[in-house]
Amino acid sequence: DAGVTQSPTHLIKTRGQHVTLRCSPISGHKSVSWYQQVLGQGPQFIFQYYEKEERGRGNFPDRFSARQFPNYSSELNVNALLLGDSALYLCASSLVGTNEQFFGPGTRLTVL
Amino acid sequence: GQNIDQPTEMTATEGAIVQINCTYQTSGFNGLFWYQQHAGEAPTFLSYNVLDGLEEKGRFSSFLSRSKGYSYLLLKELQMKDSASYLCAVYSGNTPLVFGKGTRLSVIA
């Protein structure tokens, strides 16, 4: 079975641009969560979606938004990029009602 | 607030045993996870504790004391490939997972 997949693997953007990151969960998983991991830190929760609705939101500015599609895949959008947005963005999927999160390989975003 | 503390770095010798501690203060508690993360890669699941006590899985064991807000990950018979960051994460029920900053373990010959 395929695990969580994310695209792109790497991305370089400049300040002020916007970016869209994509995630496909494990088949059968309806919950998707997004995390930001800055170098040397643990992942920080950004959003959780299931059944296409936002179920949780971390302490991130409104420049960050996300959505979930009918096939349970998800997109994370970040507008007006800042240098501090440079990080590894991780997507994790889980079965609704369970706690274990399965992580994708991440998207490495570099903002210049 | 949510606070999870673990040591920043540890070094241990190949073949030895190492214990990585984690203390937490969260607004709720529904379980504690340990993840392994090699540099540049995604975290991979190691263990999950929801009740007090020791969970053993091969060379890895994890312990939880809910009354003390304390957990540890025990790695036995260390191998060079165990060099990685180890992340303690709490599921509080309010957000999917709250992570500590991770402990970078270096295994030396």
Q: Please choose, from the candidates A16, A17, A26, A22, the residue with its C-alpha nearest in 3D space to the C-alpha of residue A34.
A: A22
Q: Please choose, from the candidates A80, A4, A92, the residue with its C-alpha nearest in 3D space to the C-alpha of residue A44.
A: A92
CB-CB under 8 Å, A33 with B48? no
Chain B residue with Cα closest to A34: B96
Selecting from A42, A101, A108 the residue whose C-beta is nearest the C-beta of B96 gives A101
The C-alpha of B106 sits at a distance from chain A's nearest C-alpha, in angstroms, of: 15
How confident is the model over A42-85, as pLDDT tens digits?
A: 999 999 998 889 988 999 999 999 999 999 999 999 999 999 99
**Interface membership of A93 toward B (CB under 8 Å):** no
Statement: residue B87 has pLDDT above 90: yes
The C-alpha of A79 sits at a distance from chain B's nearest C-alpha, in angstroms, of: 23
What pLDDT band is residue A1 in, cutting at 50, 70 and 90? low
Statement: residue A98 has pLDDT above 90: no
What pLDDT band is residue A107 in, cutting at 50, 70 and 90? very high
Which tokens in the block code for residue A56? 């949780």
Instruction: Determine which helix (DSSP H) or strand (DSSP E) holds A88, and give its type and residue range.
Output: strand A87-94
The C-alpha of B107 sits at a distance from chain A's nearest C-alpha, in angstroms, of: 18
Peptide bond into A8 cis (omega under 30): yes
How confident is the model over B4-51, as pLDDT tens digits?
A: 999 999 999 999 999 999 999 988 888 999 999 998 888 999 999 999
CB-CB under 8 Å, A56 with B96? yes
Residues 6+ apart with CB under 8 A from B82: B75, B105, B107
Selecting from B45, B87, B100 the residue whose C-beta is nearest the C-beta of A100 gives B45
CB-CB under 8 Å, A42 with B87? yes
